[in-house]
Structure 1
Amino acid sequence: MRYKTGSSPYWCGIQAIGQRNPVARLEVRTTSGWWQLPRTDYNYFLSADGSGCGGAIRITDIYGERLTVNGIELRPGVVQPTRVQFAQH
């Protein structure tokens, strides 16, 4: 996972990299539950108001498999390992 350069608690872009299968959906956990982030054409998922930035992330691949990623700090520009991987299809 990588937070886009310039990300902060008030705005962030999240990129899921190194996954075996293409990522179809990325969600962040907020106080209201899971919130799906929109994907940009430059392959980042954006939280325009910072909701969920620095918290748990849930990614879903094109086959419907869902993984929850914990422990990803809000460190812009730094690639951080997820320690989870989609099953091979």
Structure 2
Amino acid sequence: MSTSYRYKEGSSQWWCGIQVRNHRNPVAKLEVRAASGWLTLPRYEYNYFISASGAGCGSDIRITDIYGQALVDTGVSIRDRVDQPGKAQFARR
């Protein structure tokens, strides 16, 4: 089973929250592709990574686990309250 992504309710091009689901290993970092390159989003206590300005919302997503493995997914559009499948899964550690 691959990882999946869920946009938080109320997400838009001006603000978004992204949650990673079904990941095999703990996620250390989530980045989105913005106009200036990869942008690291901060994780909040409710386990969503937030783009307060909306930069990168609806674009490519790169997640990195605590072992340094990175996965990149494209085509993850802003659709709140829907789990969207990724294309891969972290290797088991």
Task: Please state which structure has a larger fraction of its residues in strand.
Answer: 2
Q: Paired residue for 1:88? A: 92
Say which of 18, 22, 26 aligns to 1:22.
26
Name the structure 1 match of 2:52.
48
Question: Which residue matches 2:12?
Answer: 8
TM-score under structure 2 length normalisation: 0.94
TM-score normalised over the length of structure 1:
0.98
Greater than 3 Å deviation, 4+ residue runs: none
Aligned residues: 89
In the alignment, structure 1 residue 58 sits paired with structure 2 residue 62: yes
Q: Percent identity?
A: 60
Gaps of 5+ in 2: none
Unmatched 5+ stretches in structure 1: none
RMSD after superposition: 0.5
Distance in 2 between residues matched to 1:80 and 1:65, nearest whole Å: 20
